[in-house]
Each structure stands twice: as C-alpha cells, then as structure tokens.
Amino acid sequence: MISIFQTYWQALLYSDGYRVTGLAMTLWLLVISCGIGFCLAVPLAVLRNARNPLLWFPVWLYTFLFRGTPLYVQLLLIYTGIYGLDFIHNTAPFNEFFRQGLNCTILSFALNTGAYTTEIFAGSIKETSHGEVDAGLAMGMSRFTLYRRIIIPSALRRALPVYSNEVILMLHATTLAFTATVPDILKVANDAYSATYDPFDCFGVAALIYLCVSFGLIFLFRRAERHFLAYLRP
Amino acid sequence: MFNLAGYGQQIFNGTVTTIELSVLSLLVSFVLGLFGASAKLAKSRVLRGIGTVYTTIIRGVLMLLIFYSLQIWLNDLSDYLDSFQNRIDFEFPLDPFTSGVITLGFIYGAYFTETFRGAFLAVPKGQLEAARAFGMRPMQVFRRILFPQMMRYALPGIGNNWQVILKATALVSLIGLSDVVKAAQAAGEATFRTFFFISVAGLVYLVLTTISNGVLLLLERKYAVGVRKAAL
C-alpha cells in the first residue's frame, strides 16, 4: 500500500501534472455541488411551505423527481442525454457547457443534493415554533424580515445534524463522477489498479483517503453543531 | 410520442432484473443486519468489535469503491475456484447479478445493523425479562417477543434503506448487469434518442419508489396495530 501511495501520491492528492485530480477534485466537487445545492435549497424550502399551490407544487415536483430517481440516472441524463438533443447541439453556449464532463457532473450533483436539502430545510422551517413567529409579528416585522431574521436562521441551525448527513452522503456520491470522465480519487485508484493489478492496495489507499475526508467532515460538523446549537445544550 | 422503437421488451426485462436485484439485496442485507445488530449488542467483546469495525468501515468508505474492489476480489476468488473446476464438479456462479447481490447486501447490511440496533434497544427490557421468566428459550424470545415489536421501530429505517438500495441498483449496470439503466442506454445509443430512453429508465425508478412508499405506509399501519398514540 505504501508503494502505491509513493508512486501515485501526487495524482491521488492534487494533480497528475496536467489537471486537478484525486482528493482536490473530489473536494472541489463536494464543495461546489453542496454550495449550489444550498443556495438553491433555501429559497425553495421557503416556497415549499407556501400556501399557494402554484408556489409549492413546482418545488414538490422537483424534489419528487430528483429524490425518486437514482443519481446515476440523473447524471446519465444530463451527461449523455441532454448532449444528444439537437437543440443543445446547435446552440453554441449550451454545446460548450454540456460538452464538459465536469460541468455536467456538477450540474447533476447540485440539482440532486438541492432536492434533498430542500426537503430537509422545508421540514425544519415547518417545525419552527409558532411562538417565535408570533413574537416576530408582534415586533412589527414584515414577512421578509421575519424570514430573514427569525425563521431561516433558526431553521438552518436545527437542520444542521440532518444536513451534515446529507453532505457525507454527497461525498459518497462524488465517486460517480468518474463515469463522466472526471478524474476524482476513485478514477486515480482505478488507473493505478489497471497499471499494477493490485486491487487491495490501490483501492485500499483510496478507501483510506475517503475515510479521512469522512472523519474530517464529521469533525467539522461536530464543531459547527457545538457552535450553532450551543443554545440547546443543557 | 411514447414510441419505444421495439425496445419495450428489453426495458421490461431490465426492470424485472432491477426489482429482483433489489429484493435479493434487501434480503441479504436484512439478514446481515440482524446478525450485525446481535453482534453489536452481544456481551462478548470480540463480537462487538467485529460489529463495530464492519459498520464503521462500510459507512465511512464509499459505496462505489467497495463495489469495485469487492467485485474485483470476487472475480479473483471465482478464478481461483475455477481452477479447481477440472478436479471437482463445482460451478461457482459469479455473474454481475450475483456479485451485485453480494456487494449490495454486504454494504447495506451495515446500514441495517444500525437500524436494527436502535430498534432492539427500543423494545422495553421488562418484556424480554418476562419472556425469560416464562421459560422461553432465547430463540423463542427473539421470534415471539423481540422481533415483532422491534419491526415497528425499525420500519421507517427499513423503508429508507429500501429506497436507497433500489436506487443503488442503478450502479450495478456499471459492472455489466443488463438492468433497466443498461437497457435504456443500449436503446438510446441505437436510436440516437438517449434523452428519451434514459428518461424512461428514470420514470421506471420513479414508479417503483412511489409504489414502495405506498406499501411502506400500509406496513407501518400494520405493525402499529395495538399501539396507543398520545392524544395531543
């Protein structure tokens, strides 16, 4: 295992000399897709709880579609399916965008995690205690201010433990990226395997790296929970 | 619009394969989960250690990675056993389907272990003691008292795991199983309508997850029989 790491450490960690690979690529995929997903999820979660069906129904449909199908199918749809459409092929900016495996991967990951995150946040917005809302209204806050100052900050805090699960699951899902030719850790390990025929060591090294990232993320989320949920501690 | 161009039969067969694969993986992981949970709750330190290592490693490392490496190991094992085949009459079946069932079952067994552990702990201890006092053997206690009550607590977790397994079967097409995704890909490549056919595959999954949601609701109602809800 050490010899594999000695040969491939550069590719496994940050670059194979031409492009970003391995750990750096995996983390980039994770950060950008969770970032986009998060930004998507906050407004959608508010809409998901709206009373007007014209507002909540599209959001419900989005989460239903993306949570009901496997991520791999979504990735295939965006990576091979959309690029096969004539309309996309003939429009220069779309053609440029969907030709890159990395763009397609990020798009599908962001949409997928966005759907799950929307449901998580929507659930936690729904659980906001009515006393807090009443107090905000009594202070004369407008609906927008109420959401900005009271509901969203408190909902995001309470969603943190569940959200951390979603991020870990997203880390697990990033391994799918290699099917769209994105050189993440698994791709490098697979290449090392094809060169050495030593599955235990090659995949073992990759497993250790993933284990470290998982534990690092869990540690960070623990810290965040201790900070943001301090008011819930006995 | 909904023209499957003669690939309907293939996609249907793929769907059947997907369902078979998920059900078998569910069974394997269910049984593994029961064993794992018993090991993690056992008095013996060795058993607890084995259970903890199993769940920590599987849940900390990624599914696809385990998938690939287990697949390759299983292939090596199969080659190894094949080398005996001339001497003893023994066929070792290791097609993508079997290895898919083994790997998925092994991975989700770890998740089921955690689900069942929580559920076992949720059954009141007095009930088990009462059962022992009646003179039931451990197996009888498990079958008559522990299991039926544990199921009620475990059902939401089982439902979640089932949905995840169902969606994870899509990955088995990566190692060459002709499931619904593979059939859709083949049809799409042949007809140059990839978008349409992969959407069909997505639709199949959507239908399957929706149906299983309904079934789970019914099951939850069945296992909650005789439980009094707090009137709020």
Look up the CATH number of the domain holding residue A116: 1.10.3720.10
Q: Whose CA is closest to B197, among A80, A71, A107, A98?
A: A80
Residue A57 lies in a domain: yes
The per-residue pLDDT for B232 is 47
* pLDDT tens by residue, A214-234: 888 888 988 888 888 887 776
* pLDDT tens by residue, A50-90: 888 888 899 999 999 998 888 889 988 888 888 777 777 77
The stretch A91-119 carries a mean pLDDT of: 86
Q: Is B44 left (phi over 0), alpha (psi -120 to 50) or beta?
A: beta
* pLDDT tens by residue, A152-188: 888 888 888 888 888 888 888 888 888 887 888 888 8
Q: Whose CA is closest to B162, among B22, B17, B58, B14?
A: B22
A16 pLDDT exceeds 80?
no
Q: Which of B68, B181, B210 sits opposite A73 (nearest CB)?
A: B181
Is A142 near chain B, with CB under 8 Å? Answer: no
Contact indicator for A225, A232 with CB cutoff of 8 Å: no
Query: For every one of its 232 residues, what pLDDT tens digit does chain B have, with 9 covering 90 and above?
Result: 566 767 778 888 888 888 999 999 999 999 999 888 888 888 888 888 888 888 887 777 666 666 666 666 666 666 666 666 555 555 555 677 887 888 888 888 888 888 888 888 888 888 888 988 998 888 888 888 888 888 888 888 888 888 888 888 888 887 777 888 888 888 888 887 888 888 888 998 999 999 988 888 888 888 777 666 555 4
Residue A10 lies in a domain: no
End-to-end CA distance of chain B: 51
Q: Model's pTM, two decimal places?
A: 0.82
Domain span at A102:
23-180+210-232
Q: Which of B169, B171, B195 sits opposite A85 (nearest CB)?
A: B195
The per-residue pLDDT for B86 is 56
The alpha-carbon gap from A210 to the nearest alpha carbon of chain B, in Å, equals 6
What's phi and psi for B14, nearest 5 deg? -60, -40
State ipTM.
0.79
Residue A77 lies in a domain: yes
The per-residue pLDDT for B220 is 81
The alpha-carbon gap from A127 to the nearest alpha carbon of chain B, in Å, equals 16
Chain A from 172 to 211: CB within 8 A of any B CB: 172, 175-176, 179, 186, 189-190, 193, 199-200, 203-204, 206-207, 210-211
Domains and CATH numbers, chain B: 8-80+92-223 (1.10.3720.10)
* pLDDT tens by residue, A184-216: 888 888 788 777 777 777 777 888 888 888 888
* pLDDT tens by residue, A84-95: 777 777 777 777
Residue A6 lies in a domain: no
Count Cβ atoms below 10 Å from residue A48 Cβ, excluding itself.
23
Q: List, as one string, the DSSP characters of B68-118.
A: HHHHHHHHHHHHHHHTTTTTS-------HHHHHHHHHHHHHHHHHHHHHHH
Contact indicator for A116, A39 with CB cutoff of 8 Å: no
Q: Name every chain A residue with its beta carbon within 8 A of the beta carbon of B185.
A: 76, 80
Count Cβ atoms below 10 Å from residue B178 Cβ, excluding itself.
17
Write the secondary structure of B163-218 as one string of H (helix), E (strand) and C (coil): HHHHHHHHHHHHHCCCCHHHHHHHHHHHHCCHHHHHHHHHHHHHHHHHHHHHHHHH
Structural domains in chain A (count):
1
Q: Which two tokens stand for residue A23?
A: 């750990």
Q: SS3 of A20, please? A: strand
DSSP state of B231: P
The alpha-carbon gap from B18 to the nearest alpha carbon of chain A, in Å, equals 12
Q: Whose CA is closest to B102, among B71, B142, B129?
A: B71
Helix, strand counts (H, E) of chain A: 12, 0
The stretch A99-119 carries a mean pLDDT of: 89
